[in-house]
Chain A
Amino acid sequence: MDLTLRVWRQKDGQSTGTLETYQISGIIPDMSFLEMLDVTNERLIEEGKDPIAFDHDCREGICGACSLVINGRAHGGFSGTTTCQLHMRKFNDGDTITVEPWRATAFPVLKDLVVDRTSFDRIIQAGGFISANTGGAPDGNAVPIPKPDADAAMDAAACIGCGACAASCPNGSAMLFVAAKVSHLAHLPQGMPERGQRVLSMVAKMDEEGFGNCTNHAECEAMCPKDISISHIAKMNREFIRATVRGE
């Protein structure tokens, strides 16, 4: 396949960036999107040029490191697929492909396609946990958890923290990410003692980090590579109202 790539190049957080164009030939359909970028980088290095920086690690759709906006869509916009799992057979010979970093106020660009997502870490630090010190836990079967609850918790817990939701939201809102964690823990008996404080602190932190409001565009759900449902946002809103009403 022969492709035209338009890639966002930005030296660092302080500089302004631009889209640069690269012609790349000899791409084969079995390559993953990141392998296509690897090949591009190898050629850039051989030509004495600066390779394109992008985040990645597991390359199997689970670590949440990869993060590209491809032709305007986070992770390329293919259902249930992260960028690292996207293969070139989804594109056609002669295509022009535009590759940009996540765009959200709370995800500043560090270089080229690499952004700073530590705002997500700080939201979790605000309350995305159960306060159970190591040691002294009761037997795992002491509290039975109905299968539907365990399954619902797992559905929410599948979030990989990639940030595609916030990057594709017109308001730059992180609601889906936050809701996934709130909903995961709110479905489990172990999560109950802290449920009110948790949702209030996490939402407050999310606002403080500069993420926007949710106005129900549902772009997040459409772009989420783990198919996290916006029903979790509804769940979080109920949790939030409950906690506010109870004055927690």
Chain B
Amino acid sequence: MDTNGSLNGNVPAGPLAEKWDNHRFNMKLVNPANRRRYKIIVVGSGLAGGGAAATLGELGYNVDCFCYQDSPRRAHSIAAQGGINAAKNYQNDGDSTYRLFYDTIKGGDFRSRESNVYRLAQVSANIIDQCVAMGVPFAREYGGQLANRSFGGAQVSRTFYARGQTGQQLLLGVYAALSRQVAAGTVKMHSRTEMLEIVLVDGQAKGVITRNLVTGEIEKHAADVVIMATGGYGPVFYLSTNAMGNNVTASIRAYMKGAYFANPCYTQIHPTCIPVSGDHQSKLTLMSESLRNDGRIWVPTKEGDPRGPAEIPEDERDYYLERMYPSFGNLAPRDIASRAAKRACDEGRGVGDTGLGVYLDFTDAIKRLSLPVVQQRYGNLFDMYEKITGENAYEVPMRIYPAIHYTMGGLWVDYNLMSNIPGLFVLGESNFSDHGANRLGASALMQGLADGYFVAPYTVGNYLASQTPGDYSADSSEFTQAADDVKDRIKRVLSIDGKRTVTSFHRELGLICWDYCGMARTDQSLTKALDLIPALKEEFWENVSVPGGGDELNPELEKALRVADFLEFAELMCYDALVRKESCGGHFREEYQTQEGEALRDDEHFSHVSAWEAPRNGGRPVLHKENLEFEEVEFSVRSYK
């Protein structure tokens, strides 16, 4: 492993609380009359990409926005259920910008950049105002004020929500703003279009190569700046709570062209998902974390207890979270709750046919609150559970198990959200920036909108102010070369004509990642993964079977290209996990734990961002470290006891 000198996050000087205001003042502006002469590419139409495209359009730039779905309204932000955080302190319960900042740093296990997190907390309040102005129907109290709840282990009520469909409503707000700009002619929307390559000219990002998913046409798009907001890479594990189309393609393509990939091993496992029911399973469904506000999690005290939940008496149940973390109980953070569930199942105390499940029981909540109250709070979730499992959770406890949910890792960006490639900005879940080694509930929606609405529009403008507009051409040799590379890749994958389906490779890769780089990782397991993945990759390129052609609507081809990129990426993820010899947040190395089985950080050696550069000629990726300096907060051991 090569290690280079410390990466510079370009964090502005000055006191933490004033950095963003000062920086905004110091940034260069583009004259309004000049803005339409600049062309901006935005890949992604979720909260981050859609928000940025709409806002940049409003400012008068000339924007091209891309998504692989048939409509920008279907980006996976749509699926977020629980809510969005903001430091409004409407409840007068002691919340503040500083507290949200502090909670996020601590929740991220001291592995995020202080200045970014502070800015996130600062702009959080503006997000709520903006969404209300755009017609997002947040839940209200009888007096007409916005309602809040406490979420994901926070001790204040700062989460805003729209029933169980917060992400949907926020995304529909973004989609409305985007649609308005499409009508105004500032944004051109390219749906069913997948980015397959990024194009650099003289080291600067100047465009992308895309495939029209209906006709198969390979298109060249050039611009003054490229913004990627392509979401998370959860499906590297095959099964996850992500959409079927979530991918790492855009990021890994940029990585291969020199962008650094930061902290790929930081993946979040969500404790409350519906357990796997069989080999046919294509995705896992999240049951909102809000259920943990009233449900109680337990397993039998006895190993392999064959009795149904109703027959197990109270004193033979282990409410393990309440036992181990008395002050947070069932609301312990995601990584802690997930590992505790795994431990219970590893001890043979798991429930359900597979033994990979724990109970989430509402019997006491129904007694305490009454059935109608529980129905009102969680009715839609209970309905969803029944649709999937065929069981009525008002009568029998739900069964839940952890699943891959969110990826904190992503392309490395500086304070301006620009990658190390000039002119390539990365927003939302696809960057690495704000959540450190673990993301708190209801903070991803906040980050997506912060990046898209309130950060990128300033910092991208600042970059453009230093560029001559229109200094690009899609006819240049760089574009021709990149387009040819894409065509070759497609031709190659179609011509293999092997024996195994794309999905069979994807499933196998997912299992390797889950078994050896999942909830608990060891030197041995990661070394094993690093043996298995290259072999699988080799087999893929010799034995995959992709039916149909390249110049038609061909979902198998789309999948094949994504799985090929997951195969590239999985190795990087496992390698990062191997090299990070500590446990922090979602990254749990069994070798590094306290006597009570809690994550043991090594601040002396690992208080840095690991930003990986693609190997130039085979071999291992090159590590660049960004040292994390904490001026404002002091390291402490995350304790939720």
A is bound by B = yes
The reply to whether B552 and A62 contact each other, CB–CB distance below 8 Å, is no
A77 at the interface (CB under 8 A from B): no
Min Cβ gap A85→B in Å is 5
Question: Which A59-100 residues have C-beta < 8 A from chain B?
Answer: 59-65, 80-81, 85, 87, 89
Min Cβ gap A122→B in Å is 9
Q: Which B residue's beta carbon lies closest to that of A123?
A: B179
The reply to whether B129 and A138 contact each other, CB–CB distance below 8 Å, is yes
Stretch at the interface among A29-37, A165-173, A234-242: A29-37
The reply to whether B137 and A188 contact each other, CB–CB distance below 8 Å, is yes
Give the interface residue-count category, chain B: 35 or more
The reply to whether A116 and B135 contact each other, CB–CB distance below 8 Å, is no
Given contacts A38-B280, A51-B555, contact A118 B214 (CB under 8 A): no
The reply to whether A133 and B137 contact each other, CB–CB distance below 8 Å, is no
B545 at the interface (CB under 8 A from A): yes
What's the Cα separation between A55 and B140 when bound, in Å?
Answer: 35
The reply to whether B132 and A137 contact each other, CB–CB distance below 8 Å, is yes
Question: Which A146-172 residues have C-beta < 8 A from chain B?
Answer: 146-147, 150-151, 153-154, 157-158, 160-161
Min Cβ gap A205→B in Å is 10
Min Cβ gap B543→A in Å is 13
B278 at the interface (CB under 8 A from A): yes
Residues of B within 8 Å of A59, CB to CB, are 243-244, 282-283, 285
A207 at the interface (CB under 8 A from B): no
The reply to whether B139 and A150 contact each other, CB–CB distance below 8 Å, is yes
Stretch at the interface among A16-24, A39-47, A215-223: A39-47
What's the Cα separation between A145 and B189 when bound, in Å?
Answer: 33
A140 at the interface (CB under 8 A from B): yes
The reply to whether A30 and B277 contact each other, CB–CB distance below 8 Å, is yes
The reply to whether A85 and B70 contact each other, CB–CB distance below 8 Å, is no
B191 at the interface (CB under 8 A from A): yes
Given contacts A34-B282, A63-B74, A118-B191, contact A137 B129 (CB under 8 A): yes
- Mask of B173-192 contacts with A, CB within 8 angstroms, 1/0: 00111011011000001010
Question: Which A97-118 residues have C-beta < 8 A from chain B?
Answer: 110-111, 114, 116-118
What's the Cα separation between A109 and B69 when bound, in Å?
Answer: 16
Given contacts A57-B69, A134-B454, A157-B172, contact A128 B179 (CB under 8 A): yes
Question: Which B419-478 residues have C-beta < 8 A from chain A?
Answer: 453-454, 457
Min Cβ gap B361→A in Å is 22
The reply to whether B277 and A42 contact each other, CB–CB distance below 8 Å, is no
What's the Cα separation between A140 and B169 when bound, in Å?
Answer: 15
Residues of A within 8 Å of B90, CB to CB, are 141
Question: Which B277-313 residues have C-beta < 8 A from chain A?
Answer: 277-278, 280-283, 285-286
Count residues of chain A with CB under 8 A from any CB of chain B: 79
Q: Which B residue's beta carbon lies closest to that of A65?
A: B74
Most buried by B among A56, A58, A128: A58
Min Cβ gap B247→A in Å is 11
Min Cβ gap A24→B in Å is 12
The reply to whether B457 and A85 contact each other, CB–CB distance below 8 Å, is no
Min Cβ gap B324→A in Å is 31
Given contacts A50-B547, A87-B388, A154-B162, contact A35 B281 (CB under 8 A): yes
Stretch at the interface among B142-150, B364-372, B403-411, B629-637: B142-150
What's the Cα separation between A55 and B281 when bound, in Å?
Answer: 18
Min Cβ gap B181→A in Å is 9
Min Cβ gap B135→A in Å is 5
The reply to whether A161 and B73 contact each other, CB–CB distance below 8 Å, is yes
The reply to whether A146 and B74 contact each other, CB–CB distance below 8 Å, is no
Q: Which A residue's beta carbon lies closest to that of B162?
A: A154
The reply to whether B135 and A118 contact each other, CB–CB distance below 8 Å, is no
Residues of A within 8 Å of B454, CB to CB, are 134-135
A211 at the interface (CB under 8 A from B): no
Residues of B within 8 Å of A125, CB to CB, are 179-180, 182-183
Min Cβ gap A213→B in Å is 24
Residues of A within 8 Å of B244, CB to CB, are 56-59
Residues of B within 8 Å of A154, CB to CB, are 137, 139, 162-163, 169
A185 at the interface (CB under 8 A from B): yes
- Mask of A123-139 contacts with B, CB within 8 angstroms, 1/0: 01110111111110111
A53 at the interface (CB under 8 A from B): yes
The reply to whether B553 and A114 contact each other, CB–CB distance below 8 Å, is yes
The reply to whether B128 and A158 contact each other, CB–CB distance below 8 Å, is no
What's the Cα separation between A140 and B84 when bound, in Å?
Answer: 14
What's the Cα separation between A49 and B39 when bound, in Å?
Answer: 43
Min Cβ gap A138→B in Å is 6
Min Cβ gap B513→A in Å is 20
The reply to whether A184 and B388 contact each other, CB–CB distance below 8 Å, is no
Knowing that A50-B548, A57-B74 are A-B contacts, what are 10 other residue pairs whose CB atoms are under 8 Å apart, sorted by A's residue number?
A46-B545, A57-B243, A59-B282, A65-B70, A124-B175, A125-B183, A129-B176, A147-B142, A157-B172, A161-B73
A-B CB contact pairs (8 Å), 10 listed: A12-B552, A45-B556, A51-B555, A57-B243, A59-B244, A63-B69, A130-B135, A134-B54, A153-B137, A187-B137
Which 4 residue pairs spanning A and B have beta carbons closest together?
A144-B144, A129-B176, A137-B133, A137-B129
